[in-house]
Amino acid sequence: MTSETKVLCVAEKPSVAKEISKILSGNCFVMRNSRIAYIKNYEFKCQLNSKEVQVIMTSVCGHINALDFPYQYAKWESCSPAVLFDAPIIKKTIDAENAETIRDNIFNIAHTVSHLMIWTDCDREGEKIGSDIKDICVMANADITVSRARFSAIIPTQIKQAWESPAQLDINQAEAVSARMELDLRIGYAFTRYQTLGFKQIFPELGSEKVLSYGSCQFPTLGFVVEKYKAVENFIRESFWKIHVVAERDNMTVNFNWEKDKLFNVNCCNAIYHDLIMEQPIIAHVIQVGTKETKKYKPYPLTTVELQKAGCRFLHISSDEIMKIAEDLYNKGFISYPRTETDQFDDHNFNFQELIQAQTNDQRWGDFASNLLDKRITTKKGRHNDQAHPPIHPVQYASGLTGKERTVYEFVVRRFLACCSEDAKGNETTVKIRIKDEYFTATGLVISDYNYLEVYPYDRWNDKNLPNFVLHETFTPKECKMEEGQTSPPEYLTEAELINIMDKNGIGTDATIHEHIKKIIDREYVEKQVHGSKTYLIPTNLGLALVEGYDSIAFNESLTKPLLRAKMEQNLKQICEATREKNDVLTETINKYRDMFSLTHNNLQRLVEGFAKYFTLNSEANDINRIFNNIVNVENPKLVRWCRETQDLRPMYLKNIQSNWIISCIDYPNCSHGFFFNNSSSIKSISTNSEICTICSGNDSPIHYLTIVYRSNRINRGCFGGCDDNMDMLLSKSSGTSNRPNDGGSRRGSRGSRGSRGANDEEAVRGTRGSRGSRGSRRGGYTGGNNLDRMEGILDFTQEFDVDKLDAVVRAFYTGVGEEQKKAQSVLTQFQNHPDAWLKVDTILEKSKFTHTKFIALQILEKLIQQNFIVNIIVATSDNEQTLRREKTYLSKLNLILVQILKQEWPHNWPQFIPEIVSTGRSNVTICENNMAILKLLSEEIFDYSAEQMTQLKTKNLKTQMCHEFSKIFELCNEVLEKAHQPSLIKATLETLLKFLNWIPLGYIFETNIIENLRTRFLESPEYRNVTLKCLSEIGALNVSHEYDDKFIALFNMVVTALETMVPVSADFSTIYKSSSNEEQEFIQNLALFFTGFLSTHLKIMESQQNNQPLLKAHYYLLRISQVEEREVFKVCLEYWTKL
């Protein structure tokens, strides 16, 4: 292993991870399997901020987490649907196959790296997925630094730019998605359960398995389809009459259209017509002949919505399918990101020519593309720019595509080339004639320049020739007749038209519109029907019933119209823009839908009547109100405790089944564990009391006291959570269940149970005082202020250690929200850092039932082993030349581990580290060499990587606080450079000095002989000149007070003088560079960096000197270097010349 920084990169899909790995690694990576066949971990090295880092690229498969209701709300009949508007919500790993394994793959890797870079798609959903990835990694490694790669296409230029210029996650966008997920869950579940449970009972035709889902986007989408369907079905045809004139000239037939178009009164039209034909022959007077230039405008750049519309209209591919195809093309690197609202290119900065050039070899559009290369590209500007992604466009040529992928790619290319072309041009001729007092017009078109139409066959513009007419001439038409016609009904809605309506009304986003359309088709609310050459969307009876039923209720804002959902989408945008708080949006929207739910139930009869038009009522469903009241007024389950037999602590509820009182797991029959009350026949009732047991309460639902009323009217009251021995004695276990509710999980103290009463005739415990448990069964988390404070109990190492409580804190971190999750993270961090935490590791590994708790124990153990033994191992391995060379790789790994420890422990817990490493460095040459490597690595990991994130004040404070340590490092480096002769030691020292020059106090640099040593001993030596020149460049670029001006002048003149002895000013650097070795090329690169960096900072000082020969020579050198045919060298020089 090497000592490079390790970076974990996580993409949204496996295919994207592979493509990015190819680009960043130059197709040179090691692919390692994870525990899932389709998730690979790609390992490679890459340059980041001018240093080599070790990269591990992996991926997720879309969303990792989902929101859900706790188990007590899981079964549809378990609670009133109305309760779901306010019920607690938990965050959990999605139910998809292998989701937990994907999560664990990221968790395990994050434990070994120092940096996380997120490569999810750059949209709202991608920010949410990235935020969830970050949470996983922070749990594995609290010190991990997080950055965000932003890109629009999987092509080398964009991927490399994203790698080199990482950004930060947009938490506002992630919060907007979180809000949307919660609203969809609450609103969707409440209405879906209500209408499904009720209508299936009273309309048997629906079938017992039918789910009548509700979605705040689904219903407005369905509403659009129904509205257009009704417009067609209710259309009444009307007769109309018009007058049509036909002329014939030069073997061409010309149709003249009546200026009045048509009349709906036959007598009126007949009167006008007879007046025209009364005199024969009919004479037509040409009163106007005009020709004007006209255009067929080229299309706007392609957006997601337009792609979906075009896919349906031109390509005959559904919106859902075309988005899947577009995403596949994006993942393969053929087109840009396919989810964008932007319909305008930045004509000044967008690289049109390179993209057009890539298409010139295609037989279908290659010639057209070639003709665009020499033209100035000006595209049509739309009004939308999402500031995230450009319009959809091809990013590289794809020659091997087949089927629908080929069709969609061709459309994207042709649309892009059309945007880069010019408008089609033509000449339109208009001839206007008068017959008596009526006017008629004919038009013709001659296309002069097809331009974009040559490559874009999806638009039509056809020639229509007119013969020659002369102004003021007269002629006799061939025909003048009166025609009867009828108005035509509108057409049913096509998918393309529906997409357009949804987009205009703000239903869904550009990235989700196709999903909502697919949903109403999958739910059988709408079906596709082919009429002629077109495919239409037609509502089913179920779709009509739902819309008509809800439309019959007098809502202030209809559930089937777009306004309600459009407002919600606008609120989500405001969360993204940080103009509204997430909780405000949630509260406002939930309250609105709760009121609409109540109004729906109060107007149930109208809803049922809407269904009764299309379905037959169940003859046995006599009392419809009672059926729906039973759904809405169902008594919420009474939580008693948590089932310790299930892996994830599911709730157990009080039930009465055939006069037998039991407490059973919600997962029954999958979990058969439960408890029976002895002598249930003597029990009149059991209820939960409003008083809560503070010992046994769990996270989402408190545990209440039970009140047992016997038929003899005696009462027994107590807690079944595990803290009350008297209550425990009233129970018998079911198969496989320990008789004690907490089966060993609670430790009993000396306190008595609270007021438990027994009775002889019930064989209960009589009035005795039982022990009160100090610990009860817990679910994995805490709620309420007191319970949040109780988390800190795991930090009291003077008490007996409770693994269950630690499990609960860890679970609270994973499943909790808000303050609970923050508190859990804080407590866990303190626990891991406690000096006695390692003493609990064996207990945790043996007794914990939660995998992530065991991970924490292993982290504590690893930290202990590393910190206690790593230093001694390093010293033992590096104390002689032979061992140092033989175990170089092993030693590099040890050094890296030590630095990882230092990142957490230094300087607060290890203040003597720098003095110790400097002191041991003076004891032995080989130890000194390795210590230099450790110091260099320390600088890279702690100072260099975070330098850009530090404010100037923070940097200044750090330099002040660490002045003593930095001076010690300098003294050791200077001492070695003055006395050492071992090449490897000298090189290691120069590299370490380079890393610390920016932090070392200026007095040490300019008031010692370090600069002289660098020039005389190392600058002219081929083995050291590159790193030496880098050191001098670092010094030369320092921007400090004028008291050091003379020092900078002397440094510059010294370097120029030394350079003349190595390379004359007249040297042809361009030719030298081409034939040089890598080290020689690097020297030319470093030379360019030295001159440009120094002169950019100190040019005015150098110009003020009388002797300007060194300055002139430096510019001559720089001019020669500028001719080198290497991109980065030229770029460095160009930036300097541009600033002059």
Three-state helix/strand/coil letters over 186-238: HHHHHHHHHHHHHHHHHCHHHCCCCCCCCCCCHHHHHHHHHHHHHHHHCCCCC
Contact 1048, 1104 (CB under 8 A): no
Say whether 866 sits in a helix, a strand or coil.
Answer: helix
Alpha helices in 1009-1077 (DSSP H): 1010-1013, 1025-1036, 1045-1062, 1069-1075
Token code pair at residue 115: 């940096």
Token code pair at residue 554: 């007098």
Tally of CA atoms within 13 A in the half-sphere of 809 that contains its CB: 27
Beta-carbon contacts of residue 790 (< 8 Å; ≥ 6 apart):
782
Per DSSP, what are the bridge partners of residue 536?
494, 529
The C-alpha atoms of residue 903 and residue 898 are separated, in whole angstroms, by 9
The torsion region of residue 950 among left (phi > 0), alpha (psi -120 to 50) and beta comes to beta
Show contacts of 272-280: CB within 8 Å, 24+ apart: 272/243, 272/438, 273/243, 273/482, 275/436, 276/243, 276/435, 276/436, 276/438, 276/480, 277/480
Query: How many of the other CB atoms lie within 10 Å of CB of 813?
Result: 24
Token code pair at residue 442: 């004919």
> Quick one: CA dihedral 110, 116, 117, 118, positive or negative?
positive
Tally of CA atoms within 13 A in the half-sphere of 802 that contains its CB: 22
CA distances from 53 to 9, 43, 219, 988 (A): 12, 11, 51, 18
Contact 228, 493 (CB under 8 A): yes
Question: Hey, what amino acid is at 947?
Answer: A
- Whether the ω angle into residue 669 lies within 30 degrees of 0, i.e. cis, is yes
| Catalytic residue set | 337
Beta-carbon contacts of residue 199 (< 8 Å; ≥ 6 apart):
206, 212, 611
The torsion region of residue 387 among left (phi > 0), alpha (psi -120 to 50) and beta comes to left
Q: How many residues does the chain have?
A: 1140
Geometric angle at alpha carbon 602, from 601 and 608, rounded to 5°: 65
> Quick one: CA dihedral 719, 720, 723, 728, positive or negative?
positive
Per DSSP, what are the bridge partners of residue 118?
10, 148
Beta-carbon contacts of residue 714 (< 8 Å; ≥ 6 apart):
757, 759, 761, 762
Separation of CA 1086 from chain center? 40
Instruction: Compute φ and ψ for 323, nearest 5 degrees.
Output: -70, -35
Say whether 688 sits in a helix, a strand or coil.
Answer: strand
> Quick one: CA dihedral 679, 685, 687, 693, positive or negative?
negative
DSSP 41-60: EEEEEEEETTEEEEEEEEE-
The C-alpha atoms of residue 263 and residue 1022 are separated, in whole angstroms, by 97
Residue 189's closest CA among 506, 590, 621?
590
Crossing angle of the two packed helices 1078-1103 and 1045-1062, in degrees rounded to 10? 140
Residue 715's closest CA among 738, 684, 691, 744?
684
Query: How many of the other CB atoms lie within 10 Å of CB of 562?
Result: 22
